[in-house]
Amino acid sequence: MSKKKIGVYVCHCGGNISDYVNIDMVKEAVKDEADVFLVKNTVFACADSSQKEMVADIQNDQLDAIVIASCSPKLHLNTFRSVAQRAGLNPYNYIQANIREQSSWAHSNDKLGATGKAIQLVKAAIAKARESEALLSKKITALNAVAIVGAGVGGMSTAISLADMGTEVYLIEKSDSVGGQVANFGQVFPSNTTGKELVEKLHSEIKKRAKIRLFTKAEIIDKKGSIGNFEVKVKVVNEELSLHVGGFVVNTGFESYQPTNGEYGFGLLENIITLPEFKQLVDHSDKLEYKGKPVNTVAYIYCVGSRQDDEGDNKYCSRFCCTAASHTAVLAKQKFKNITNLHYTRGVRTYGKQELIYEEASKQGDIFLQFTLDSIPKIVTKGNKTIVTVKDILTSGKTIDAVVDLVVLVTGMVPRENKGLQSMLKIPLGRDNFFNEVHMKLRPVETVIDGVFIAGTCQSPKNILETLNSSQAAAAKANSVLTKGEISLEPVLAKLNPAACTWCGKCEEACSFDAISMVDCEGRKVANVNESNCKGCGMCTPACPVDAIDLAGFTNSQIEAMIDALAQS
């Protein structure tokens, strides 16, 4: 390896790093490392002025490689690759050292230790930079076509947006009709329209667009390929279809929480129902009756299946239910004038403009009580009466008994079981078991799998407005990626040396992306890497007994140099 001129930049990250890591000590410790030409510190390496300075340094001093010691590459890898690129340096001659997540934040109680570790990490990065090679991205053509999974309001909205932006759309729905859960909703807050009308409007818009092909009773059964070029098999009723798409938008929605048997008396007492059941009752009855008995007093019990204690799985707030319950209570009262609504809440969360519906419920005479998890409402029957007893924290802990005719359990959203799809598209789950985005603020509709986008309530509980916003945002993202017609492939790929390969099949076994197969090479059986399937994960390299596979960007010589540097310091 020829001698390189390396520039090293150590970032303060405001104080995120420099409050714990002594930047001057880091600079001092690495300035005499072989090939290091300059060492600088910067308050925010990612700020535009710092980027400009780096570009100028690379060009003026003709640097061959740069090391940036700042945060996790998850955050700014692309930022700094583009700095290198703008300066005319190959982006793979830039090496990141993570001294924030791995030093300052992890060892905030030990400043000297954090500094020592930062020095080691920077030295290892310099060692890697010394061995770094220029890598070239291969460009592949990308299809401007998207498969959308789920034709609820979210999926339909994504489909319309994508089609109008010029993308071909395959809208794949498992059930026999569109609209998902919203199709059964009556009036939806904050509009005067019903869920049914909303779904009908979207469906008629779908039908107008030649670019959208809707399949109901359809399911994806197989997927191959990578961003820009996915081969998809879809089972429609009993037929199998092959589709060729550039990406996926997953918009599979939610499931309503089903109370367990006996939860607040559910399934044991006959006049206990869930909010979705109650909404149907309100929408479709002229008199409020349940099982033939008139209903004059309704008790709404909030947070059923949400914000659970240690024994429950659902720690999260379901977001829409406080508003949905207040709104349903307002509609019920408007329709059935004389009813009394009692709300047993855990603190009303009608955030934003939704506050107005809570206010309306209060104004119409609804009574709001509040309980904590330590003393949840008890529901008992005495004779033919149902009594709800609660220790109400709004009246400084008084125990309040109320005779009610119907108990409505305000059930939240739970993630839909979708193991097949999830493992086929390799979508990661968050700690709440909803599908997880890469970064809530930077990449909110992307998953770690390139070309697989998520939107709507499969990601987290959302109301209709929020579902539409995220669905259209996913459309914008998918379109902006695919509309150019080509995509640069990451050049961090497995590289095979056919002369050394003795084909044992171990690399093929280790690969989880179907990127390795056996081919015939001049009469010998050897492994072959399909570059558009390879994700550069590196699982194959240690499996090879004869070192015939190396990973570009993480070569054995680079990793060994890093280990040597770490071992020496």
Partner 1 sequence: MSNTHSEKQVKTCLNDIKYDVLVIGGGIAGEESALKLADMGYKVILVEKEPSIGGKMILLSKVFPTLDCAACITTPKVSETARHPNIKVHTLTEVNEITKDSSVFSVSLKKKPRYVIENDCTGCQECENVCPSITQDQFQFNLIARKAVYIPFSIANPRIALIDIENCVLCGACEKACPSNCIDFSMEEETINVQVKSVVVATGFKLFDPISIERYGYGKFKNVITSMQMERQLAPTRPFNSILRPSDGKTPDKIAYIFCTGSRDHTVGNPICSQVCCMYSTKQAQLLMGALPMADVSMYYINIRAFGKGFNEFYLQAKDMGAKYVKGKIAGITEKENGNLVLRYENISTGKITESEHDLVVLSVGLLANPEITKAFKNEKLELDALSFIQQPDIMLNPARTSINGVFVAGTATAPMDIPDTIMSAGAAASETSSYLKSLS
Stretch that binds partner 1, among 45-53, 61-69, 122-130, 375-383 (CB under 8 A): 45-53
Using rule CB under 8 A, residue 76 touches partner 1: yes
Candidates 176, 132, 179, 118; CA nearest to 154 is 179
Residue 52 φ/ψ, nearest 5 degrees: -60, -40
Is 496 in contact with 526 (CB distance < 8 Å)? Answer: yes
- Give the DSSP letter of residue 521: E
Among the listed residues 232, 468, 494, 526, the single contact to partner 1 using CB under 8 A: 468
Rounded to the nearest whole angstrom, what is the least distance from the CB of residue 14 to partner 1 in the complex?
2
**Least separation in angstroms between CB 278 and partner 1:** 22
Q: Which of residues 378-397 bind partner 1 (CB under 8 A)?
A: 393-397
Residues numbered 140 to 159 that lie near partner 1 (CB under 8 A) are 157
Are β-strands 212-215 and 168-172 bridged in parallel, bridged antiparallel, or unpaired? parallel
The three-class DSSP label of residue 54 is helix
Helices 321-335 & 275-284 angle (0-180, nearest 10): 30
Question: What residues between 342 and 361 interact with partner 1 by CB under 8 A?
Answer: 347-356, 359
| 317 scored as a contact of partner 1 (CB under 8 A) | yes
Nearer to partner 1 (CB atom), residue 31 or residue 315: 315
Which of 442/563 has CB closer to partner 1?
Answer: 442
Q: Smallest distance from the beta carbon of 63 to partner 1, in angstroms?
A: 20
What is the Cα–Cα distance from 171 to 40, expressed in whole angstroms?
A: 52
Q: Which of 25, 90, 106, 164 binds partner 1 (CB under 8 A)?
A: 164
Q: Are strands 65-70 and 94-98 parallel, antiparallel or unpaired?
A: parallel
Span interacting with partner 1, options 131-139, 162-170, 278-286, 559-567, rule CB under 8 A: 162-170
d(C-alpha 442, C-alpha 75), whole Å: 9
Binding mask 509-548 for partner 1 (x = CB under 8 A): ----------------------------------------
Point out which span in 39-47, 90-98, 245-253, 527-535 binds partner 1 (CB under 8 A): 39-47
Nearer to partner 1 among residue 14 and residue 267 (C-beta): 14
Tell me whether residue 288 or residue 413 sits nearer to partner 1 (CB atom). 413
Output 373 or 546, the one with its CB closest to partner 1. Answer: 373
Quick count: other Cβ atoms within 10 Å of Cβ 62? 11
Stretch binding partner 1 (CB under 8 A), from 128-136, 171-179, 294-302, 315-323: 315-323
| Residue 457 in contact with partner 1, rule: CB under 8 A | no
Which residues are CB-contacts of 454 (< 8 A; sequence separation ≥ 6)?
A: 249, 250, 251, 427, 435, 437, 445, 446, 447, 474
Q: Output the CA torsion 91→94→95→100 (10° steps).
A: -100
Does 35 engage in binding with partner 1 (CB under 8 A)? no
Cis-peptide, bond into residue 259, ω within 30° of zero: no
Give min distance, CB of 479 to partner 1, in A. Answer: 6
Nearer to partner 1, 317 or 424 (CB): 317
Question: Distances from the Cα of 560 to the Cαs of 5, 130, 557, in angstroms?
Answer: 20, 12, 5
